[in-house]
């Protein structure tokens, strides 16, 4: 018997896919890593990651638009923070899966 996904399930899967794209980039994961202990400015993120200011700013814009990071202005500085503690949970779960499976499988070039 053929089963078709319902419209609500399709919409939910599309939103989930979009959310996970926020985690599917090395630079964005680096930003999350820097922000896991608290808020930082773009300059601080650049210094810690060694990435360019324009790259960090572009990724932060994407993460803000996806509501994965918050920003607040204090004087001339804008401070960024992770918007939801579950972001860290997702990253930690991914690391657990890698440990439990095999790092070699995740080094696959097909992704």
pLDDT at position 18 is 85
Mean pLDDT by 10 residues, the chain (111 residues): 84 90 91 96 98 97 91 97 94 88 68 56
Fold of 26-106: Arc Repressor Mutant, subunit A (1.10.10)
What integer pLDDT is reported at residue 69 of this predicted model? 96
Q: Where are the domains of the chain?
A: 26-106
Q: And the tokens for 11?
A: 């919409």
pLDDT of residue 89: 94
pTM: 0.81
- Please tell me the predicted confidence (pLDDT) of residue 102: 72
**Contact predicate 33/92, CB 8 Å:** no
Q: How far is CA 25 from CA 21, 22, 79, in A?
A: 7, 7, 21
Identify the pLDDT of residue 103. Answer: 64
């Amino acid at each position: 018997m053929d089963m078709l996904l319902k419209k609500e399930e399709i919409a939910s899967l599309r939103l989930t896919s979009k959310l996970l794209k926020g985690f599917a980039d090395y630079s964005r994961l680096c930003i999350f890593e820097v922000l896991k202990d608290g808020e930082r400015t773009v300059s601080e993120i650049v210094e810690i990651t060694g990435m360019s200011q324009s790259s960090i700013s572009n990724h932060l814009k994407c993460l803000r638009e996806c509501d994965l990071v918050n920003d607040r202005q204090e004087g001339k500085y804008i401070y960024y923070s992770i918007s939801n503690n579950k972001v860290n949970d997702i990253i930690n779960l991914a690391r657990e899966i890698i440990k439990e499976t095999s790092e070699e499988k995740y080094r696959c070039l097909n992704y």
